[in-house]
Amino acid sequence: MPTRYWLFKSEPESFSIDALARAPKQTTFWNGVRNYTARNLLRDEIRVGDGVIFYHSNATPSAAVGLAEVVKAGYPDATQFDPKSDYYDPAATPDKPRWFMVDIKFKEKFVRALSLDDLREVPGLEDMVLLQRGSRLSVQPVTAGEWKAILALGRQPAK
């Protein structure tokens, strides 16, 4: 099966591309997702070897900042079972988990961050989920064409 591509959003104050680059083995789990559509992608669609565009959301500016790779497919998010966690879900049980996560590994930081305005100017990205009005998913699919366009732009120095 061919590699698939995704965009994962993180607020840089919570977890940034630089934090991923500094993590042990440059790897971390992607937990805390509490949206059913994103959960379904993490649980059912995202696989080892898939590419991830790391996106800083709620930043100035919000921007695509680098790449990661999925190194462990979906498994239950342990925070749902921890009453002390902000992500605790009393309806979830180890026998019937509701929330899932994957592990990702740092691949590269872009030469320049790609803001929403930058991405809106790229031919071929008009239909990208990220650029659709009202799109707020923290985990979303990216087409092969969108992936290639973003990589090419992110690896170029700013004009």
Mean of all residue pLDDT scores within the chain: 94
Q: What pLDDT is stored for residue 158 in this prediction? A: 75
Rounded-to-integer distance, Cα 155 and Cα 132, Å: 24
At 12-56, the pLDDT tens digits run 999 999 999 999 999 999 999 999 999 999 999 999 999 999 999
Instruction: State the CATH class of domain 5-154.
Output: alpha beta
Q: Does 135 score more than 70 pLDDT?
A: yes
Rounded-to-integer distance, Cα 34 and Cα 43, Å: 12
Domain range summary for the chain, segments of one domain joined by +: 5-154
Q: What is the percent of the chain where pLDDT is above 90? A: 92
Q: Does 1 score more than 70 pLDDT?
A: no
Q: For 106-123, what is the mean pLDDT?
A: 95
Quote the Cα angle for 48-102-132, to 5°. 95
